[in-house]
Amino acid sequence: MWDTLQWIPSKTPRKTGIEEGLGLNRWGITVLDDESVEKISNILYLWRILFKMSSLNLHLLVVLCGQKMSWWNTSN
């Protein structure tokens, strides 16, 4: 899923100016313009559609900063 967020044009403020790139800054500020907001909105909407197609018992495993966390969805 993280790969799909790399499609989003973005800007990151740096001490030396604004760095333009793709994707979200994991550890800092990400600036999104109108085009970027439209793109991320569409991606998140389509994620929602994708997960609504799952079985009633959806188990997501997420690893953040080396810690495993789980979420369960018991209904569509």
**pLDDT tens digits, one per residue of 13-46:** 888 999 899 998 888 889 999 999 999 999 989 9
Nearest Cα neighbor of 3 from 57, 66, 47, 35 is 47
Domain residue ranges in the chain: 2-73
pLDDT at 55: 73
Nearest Cα neighbor of 22 from 32, 14, 13 is 32
CB 13 within 8 A of CB 30: no
Helix (H, G, I), strand (E, B) or coil at 62: strand
Mean local confidence (pLDDT), 46-74: 69
Specify the pTM: 0.66
Please enumerate, as own/partner, the contacts of 26-33 that have beta carbons within 8 Å and a separation of 24 or more.
Answer: 32/8, 33/9
pLDDT at 51: 82
